[in-house]
Structure formats: C-alpha cells, structure tokens
Amino acid sequence: MYSKKFGRLILGFSTRCSTSVVNGTITSTRTTVSWTSVCKHHMQFLERRSQMGFAHVRIRSASKTTVDPNEVKRFQLLANKWWNEQGDFAALHSMNDLRVPFIRDHLLNAHGGRRPGKPLAGLRILDVGCGGGLLTEPLGRLGADVLGIDPVADSIGTAEVHAWHDPDLRGNVRYRAITLEELSEKGGQGAGQFDAVLASEVVEHLADLETFTLCCNQVLKPGGSLFITTINKTRLSYALAIVAAEEVLRIVPSGTHDWDKFVSPMELERLLESNGFHVESIRGMLYNPLSGAWSWTESTSINYALHAVKLEEEPNLDQDDPEDPTVIVAQAKARRWYS
C-alpha cells in the first residue's frame, strides 16, 4: 500500500528502474535515486542468506497454520480504520475498481448470469482475510452469498457494524471470526461448500502458504474458483513496499511487509498446481499514488491478480485403456494432484 505523499518519488523510480526474470533469476537496472544502494545491499543480503539456507521457508512450512500472530497484532491496531477511504486502506478501496470486475467476469464465464442486477445470485463465496469487508460487501450487492472470515475479531466487528447499515446486504453477507483451517476441517461447515474463494492482499501476510492452498482446496466445490491478489517478490516490489514506504519515508510503519513472504507468480502457480488447482490467468496490476487509481498492466513485477480453478474430482482410472499414452499421462498427473 502506497501513500500519495511519495507518489512522485515512486513514479520517478518506476520509470528509471526495470526488473525482469530470466531463467528464474531476478535482474534489475541501476537508478539514480539516492537510496537505491540501500535497497541493493539489503537485497544482496537477503539473497545470500537464502543461498546459505537461513531464509525462512514460507511456501512449504510445517507450521500447519495460516495465522501469523505478529500480523494479527498489527491488524488489530487498524481494526477501526477499514472504512476510512482516505486513510491507511485507501489503496484497497480503490482496488475494488479492478478486483470486483475481475472476480465477477470470471464467475460469469463459469456459471453464467443468474438474475438481472444480481449476476452472482446463487453463488457462495468465501472471502478469506476479509478485514472490514471492503471486498465482501460489493460482491454481496451483486447477489452472491458471501461469508467473510478473519482471525481479528475487532475487524469482524467493524465489518458487521458497517454491513448492518445496508439492508440490501443483510441476507447476503455474513462474517465470522475464524481461521481458514478451522473452517475447512473435514466435516466442518466449510468443507466443499463454496463456488469461489477470495484472498485479496492476504497471502503476503500468512504464516504458511502450503496450508492455505490445501485449505482452499478443501472448502471449494470441484470446479470452484480461487482468486488471489498479492505482491511479487522482486527488487522493485522490495524497493517500493519496504525501502521507500517503511525505511526511508516512514509513511508505513516499519515491519508492515516482510519480503520473505512475498511470492512470485511462478512460485504461486507451481504451488497451486501441485495441490489440485489449474491456474487460468495472471494479470499485472499497477497503482498510481498520484491519482489513487489502479490499472491493469502487462508487468507483474509489483502487484498481480491470479485466477485458478479447483480440478474436478479424480476420475475412475480403471475404466480407461492403460495402454493409451494420454491415459498414462493423465494418470500420472492425477496421482501427483491427489497424492
């Protein structure tokens, strides 16, 4: 999240610093911005630490929980600020201009329109890490039955109070202070119940992406959609989200973001496809801190949106011809996905 106060600095840096990924290696051009060396030296430290085995392994952790207690404490302090459109969550408010149509259009392509004015009517959606309900509410207004969950009880309280003032939401939007893994437990109310799961600006705050992915698979119906927006793990995202915002200008409190928790589209796609999903689309997102608006971009070097679909239930492979090469490949993929 970036403030308008350093918009010109960010835009100037963005025009002079470019990043690319070649054979899995992040490269970056130098810039004349005075604090670039700070970013470069710290990035080199992070990379050396990773090569020596000291980096935290976030993708495949054995923690078996998605909740990071430090993140819970941080968002606890912000629980009453969710609906201040000019405050700490201003960028999330404006992000709805992209993420709501992104979610709506993919669901309409999969399910078709249900009702004029309520195109998502009849669909059940789970909003993970919903905070104050910034994304939950507009999807409820589109007719979907939306459940917003968050481990921060005070944020859920803020969301409930705000939704109560809109009579149109009372039959469509509900909230629970619960974790994703608690909801997804076998035999629980959330198992296999949802047509779509949302995790917008959430995964970069989680303790364990492996557990998150498995739980999303558990709560989705076969063929259900998973929507994620997050921050890429590049030098440019480090420079903007951490160095500029936290260490130099002190606009965002130090520690808001952890570069180790950022995940690249390639890593996220690999994780999802090894856990029963097929990634259908990835799109770059760009925030203009001067106008406060988001736009789509070809580059995924900073922010990006991803849509994945849960694979259908495992087919009965015994009925297929074991000599058919296509069947052999399909069987191998199915064993990998469902093992």
Residue numbers of the domain that contains 292: 69-310
Residues annotated in a binding site = 99, 129, 150, 200-201, 204-205
Residue 63: what are its φ and ψ, rounded to 5°? Answer: -70, -30
Q: CB neighbours of 334 closer than 8 A, spacing ≥ 6?
A: 314, 315, 317
Which residues does residue 306 pair with via DSSP β-bridges, in sequence order? Answer: 228, 282
Q: What's the rounded Cα separation, in Å, for the pair 337 and 315?
A: 12
Binding site as annotated, residues for Mg(2+): 201, 204-205
Question: What's the structural domain count of the chain?
Answer: 1
Contacts 24+ apart (CB under 8 A), 277-280: 277/213, 277/217, 277/226, 277/308, 277/309, 277/310, 277/311, 278/308, 278/309, 278/311, 279/306, 279/307, 279/308, 280/106, 280/307, 280/308, 280/309
Taking residue 41's Cβ as centre, other Cβ atoms within 10 Å add up to: 10
Residue at 276 is within a domain: yes
- Calculate ∠ Cα 76-245-1, nearest 5°: 55
How high is the pLDDT of residue 313? Answer: 67
Residue 21 counted as domain residue? no
Helix (H) or strand (E) holding 270: helix 265-273
Q: Is the pLDDT of residue 81 over 70?
A: yes
Q: Residue 34: inside a domain, yes or no?
A: no
Q: What is the mean pLDDT of residues 267-285?
A: 97
- Given a contact cutoff of 8 angstroms between Cβ atoms, the answer to whether 35 and 235 are in contact is no
Identify the pLDDT of residue 88: 82
| Mean pLDDT along residues 65-75 | 92
Could you tell me if residue 211 is inside a domain? yes
Average pLDDT of the segment spanning 205-211: 94
Question: Is 31 part of a structural domain of the chain?
Answer: no
**What one-character DSSP code corresponds to residue 247?**
I
Domain membership of residue 339 (yes or no) is no
Look at residue 50 in the predicted model and tell me its pLDDT. 47
User: Does the pLDDT at position 63 exceed 70?
Assistant: no
Annotated binding site for S-adenosyl-L-methionine: 99, 129, 150, 200
Mean residue pLDDT of the chain comes to 79
On whether residue 91 sits in a domain, the answer given is yes
- Whole-angstrom distance, CA of residue 174 vs CA of residue 142: 15
Residues linked to residue 88 through DSSP beta bridges, in sequence order: none
| CATH code: domain of residue 223 | 3.40.50.150
Query: Residue 58: its pLDDT value, please?
Result: 40
Domain membership flag for residue 12: no
185-189 mean pLDDT: 65
Decide which of 59 and 88 is more confident. Answer: 88
Nearest to 147 by CA among 78, 193, 203: 193
pLDDT tens sequence across 286-321: 988 778 899 999 999 999 999 999 998 654 444 454
